[in-house]
Each structure stands twice: as structure tokens, then as C-alpha cells.
Amino acid sequence: MSKHSSSPRSNSQSNKKRKSAKVEFRGYVNYSPTQQDKAEFDTWASSGEVWYDAVPSLLQSNYKLSVAYDDNNEAFRASVFAQNPADVNAGWCLTMRAADPVTAIMRVLFVHEVVMGGDWSDWFQRKLSDW
């Protein structure tokens, strides 16, 4: 028996992680910030709270965070998608836009953590006002 065959890496089946159940996209969360939310965001953003400390916790909770440039709105869009089938937000996507990518991330984290307290269910089916 060669020394390679006794290695734990030789059995690739035992080393493969099981894939979690795939969550189907259910839609976007209909949220539009109020004037109060905007004022609270400004206070929160300037408070010195280390907002980026929330990112590892969010990702470890099986949320997907992505950032992209949105040509139609000429802004950066940060999106958070709930990938855990057991999560109340499973399949839903929360997005926020800003002129720069860091502010877009900060806004989506603020809405997720502070405004919604991690539970988006009140906004799943809410219709946005036309006026």
C-alpha cells in the first residue's frame, strides 16, 4: 500500500461537503425607506459603529451578499439573499442602492439589522405607494 492511498485525501467522497438544499427565488422585498429611516441611517452610519463586523455574521447565517453596478439607475446595488431553507426570509432578496458600493452595503445591512430586525416578513407582499 502506498503512502498516498492511506492519506485522508485519497477518499474524495468522504471529504466532500454535503450541499444544502437549494432555495428558490421568491421575490424582492418591497421596502422604501421613510424619512425617519433615512435620518436614523445617517446617525447610525456616523456613530462609529463598525458596520462591517455584521458582514461575517450575515454570511455565516447563510445569506448571500452581492454588489453590482446598476446601469439603469446609475448606482451601486447591494443585495442580500436568504439561502437557508429554514430561515423566515428564505428565497427573498433585499436590495438597496447608493452612489458608491460601500454605502449600498451599509444601507442594506442597516435595513436588514436595524429597520427589520432580521425578519423581512412584514415586507414580503407589501405594495409600494404610487405617490
3-state secondary structure the chain: CCCCCCCHHHCHHHHCCCCCCCCCCCEECCCCCCHHHHHHHHHHHHCCCCHHHHHHHHHHCCEEEEEEEECCCCEEEEEEEECCCCCCCCCEEEEEEECCHHHHHHHHHHHHHHHCCCCCHHHCCCCCCCC
pTM, whole model, 2 decimals?
0.78
* pLDDT in 10s for each residue of the chain, 131 residues: 444 444 444 444 443 444 567 899 999 998 989 999 999 999 888 886 667 788 999 999 999 999 999 999 999 999 999 999 999 999 999 999 999 999 999 999 999 999 999 999 988 866 554 44
Q: What pLDDT score does 9 carry?
A: 43
Domain 25-123 architecture? 2-Layer Sandwich (3.30)
Domains of the chain, residue spans:
25-123
